[in-house]
Structure 1
């Protein structure tokens, strides 16, 4: 049987002249016209020369790129980072002797978030995270991936197809902003295992059964364990946008359908309750608290709230993030795997590693509605054709021809009912303060290269990238501070 391949993804890019983007081309034309009009009005060569120099200062940074960003983006990002440092915004201090005593609110993009708990019509309780700045609501589902051991290839193909159908179904209504799939490795404490065994063990159980369960609670596993979750972020809908209970009721009604779709994709799961989300966030910002949090279990809500799960101390550096005695570094996807790939392409990046016990890979899917998808695939196809026809020298390159083929295929598949999704990935590694960061960086880049994934470090926004990789509702493009006109 022929192995199924996946691919044909393309980065949206408007076509302009000489391989430039449409925006850069229009800027260049506008500057040329301005120089000509200036000379006609003044008839002065020195003034015209100054105007040409000024136009070059504006235009060249739009053409020269580094790590996928234009010169203007890099300049603005560095300026914003420096100004934030001058205002003291990159330093966070909380706790008993802070300006707001007794609280440790989440910093940065999560500062105005809130956590509440509701119940589905079927009786299942779920935590709901609301980020007020963007008016987004997020529900997190803890899933248990089946893995690939003792599973035949047709079943794996069916699961992949089921997950694609899940994404397409969520994007049809246009209400789902993003879906974040997180697979994380954390240090194994076996406290959850013992608590679960204690919950299952009945007081009147036979002595032999009780001994077997006690042995099961103490079974020694690996040094790290895998946790997987899927966050579904929705925008507020309807006339009652500010009515949070109404929004929760709508999400709760759709949640059972979401769980059924995930089960068909080989991802059985259940919505995470408020105490689970509290423990998740607290243990990621304060890694030393993991044992106490897992030992507390559902009783965590008696001592913790959403206002106390943030770090006591945090410092946002240019290339890393320091929080409560730990140091985290986040990388983002630069380019998707080139060419067609198998479903195991990211195995090297996802599998547990004892030398990196706290590693988190978050894949963010930003969904388009059916109406948006039609306009986008048609526009991408037109831009690809224009780029192929405007190649310098009049000879289309192989890359331009491949892009035309890919956009044509996407157009046909979308017409047959497929969804359209933008996607990206964030890789976060958390280690001790004295950890060898250069060695960790080399390991992450090697794993990414083995997965045919090109990554780059998140310079200037490590704190924001850390929050986004948690999978609790932060969608970075929704919080962008640089105009799209300055980008490619």
Structure 2
């Protein structure tokens, strides 16, 4: 009887996930490798100054060194030092003084050729359309600034309602395998998953009911269906999911960059396999978005008022023909902590700290679900796979950095001890064949009425707590963060003037 009880308990135990780590750099006093180098070089310079120039000159140099170290050591709850915050504020002031925070397009705007060109990071992108080996049309986006090609897949997630926990665990495992296999995809740079919730206009329901209603049905049945069509869409929402894959133009480091025709021919043979394996992760039926579908998605993101017009056009059997130079906003203004674009106001947060400890598979359920205080909500998970050749070196360097921090003090902190154990577990899992990838998250809340901005901010703060996430409002870069949360496959670290790897070592 005891053996049976143990087996039943093991079967009903919920599976948990965790052991994600933020990359660290070895250093003293909480500094990275570059900050430690500045500290040692500064102390050497102080000693030389005492010997050559005198005591007071050395005191002045030591004061300057102390101020520099203060900029690097003074960190907020998101782990950003004072130097990064001052740089962000200075960059925002410089952009505002140049008028770069304002955008106007159209015949009377500043965009070239009088078009509604996209602003900011996606202004120079070019869109082309190709066919895969199944004959499906797919859009391919080229970003000249980084030399990247992106394709977007539309999915229809099954959801976890009325699904057995065993099936959910299988989906999570298959999703992990799918992400791990991305590291083996040739020239794949990044991947992103975007879950978007928006109010339902009711056009699709009306079209479905009216086209299937029997003219000879009883009057009571017809009245009931008509009333359902009129009242059901009120307060209902739609959930859409997209997966964007980003590839490098050069097949290898130092190689010749491929043209859109060459890249389209290469991806045409690879997309069927990617969509087929993605369907086994619970994403449902997946298909590559065509150029028309991608244009409609981006147009609605920048102008939510266009969603009803596009739905009505589809309900009437018409296709609103859009080109890539017609999907941008008519007017946009980036403020320090918000982004005003056409008929809406958006605010974007970025994940600064992943959930500590272990979590269950439904930890993001409330964050991804529709919310009454947020008209449109977009949650984007950003992944950057690490190829197997570099993964071993990265985890070993991370383990050495964690051990250095734990052994640099006679009484190491509890966090340093746990970090060393987590780094050792990661290295062991990678040696056993597990994949390695970096991940982040962007959350965009869009409201149609600026007066409801405070409610949307409070809603996101509450939802982040339920997901055990720490979100940071991306001040001074709201327009770029808004574009990064769209299903366009942008690799934001590649657009930074100071590489992210160097920032982590300060």
Q: CA RMSD in A?
A: 2.3
Q: Does 2:24 align with 1:46?
A: no
Matches within 5 A, 1:25-424: 25-42=36-53, 44-66=54-76, 67-99=78-110, 100-173=112-185, 175-194=187-206, 218=229, 220-221=232-233, 222-238=235-251, 241-268=257-284, 269-297=286-314, 300=319, 302=321, 304-391=322-409, 394-424=410-440
Distance 1:171 1:161 in 2: 16
CA deviations 1:102-131 (Å, max 9, x no partner) are: 301000000111111110011011111111
What is the CA distance between 1:206 and its match in structure 2? Answer: 9.8
Which 5+ residue runs of structure 2 have no aligned equivalent? 1-10
**Bigger shift: 31-40 or 117-126?**
31-40
Checking the alignment, whether the CA contact within 8 Å between 2:352 and 2:470 is kept in structure 1 is yes
Checking the alignment, whether the CA contact within 8 Å between 1:137 and 1:236 is kept in structure 2 is yes
What is the CA distance between 1:46 and its match in structure 2? Answer: 2.4
What is the CA distance between 1:182 and its match in structure 2? Answer: 0.8
What is the CA distance between 1:189 and its match in structure 2? Answer: 1.0
Distance 1:235 1:295 in 2: 38
Checking the alignment, whether the CA contact within 8 Å between 1:368 and 1:421 is kept in structure 2 is yes
What is the CA distance between 1:174 and its match in structure 2? Answer: 5.5
Q: When the two structures are aligned, how many residues end up with a matched partner?
A: 478
**Bigger shift: 333-342 or 94-103?**
94-103
What is the CA distance between 1:163 and its match in structure 2? Answer: 0.6
Q: Does 2:20 align with 1:9?
A: yes
Give TM-score scaled by structure 1 length. Answer: 0.92
Q: Partner of 2:312: helix, strand, or coil?
A: helix
Give TM-score scaled by structure 2 length. Answer: 0.89
CA pair 374-195 structure 1, distance change in 2 beyond 3 A = farther
Which 5+ residue runs of structure 1 have no aligned equivalent? none
CA deviations 1:55-87 (Å, max 9, x no partner) are: 223222011112321221111111111111111
Checking the alignment, whether the CA contact within 8 Å between 1:279 and 1:294 is kept in structure 2 is no
CA pair 129-94 structure 1, distance change in 2 beyond 3 A = same
Distance 2:66 2:114 in 1: 54
CA pair 3-486 structure 1, distance change in 2 beyond 3 A = closer
Checking the alignment, whether the CA contact within 8 Å between 1:176 and 1:234 is kept in structure 2 is yes
What is the CA distance between 1:41 and its match in structure 2? Answer: 2.1
Checking the alignment, whether the CA contact within 8 Å between 2:373 and 2:459 is kept in structure 1 is no
Checking the alignment, whether the CA contact within 8 Å between 2:130 and 2:140 is kept in structure 1 is yes
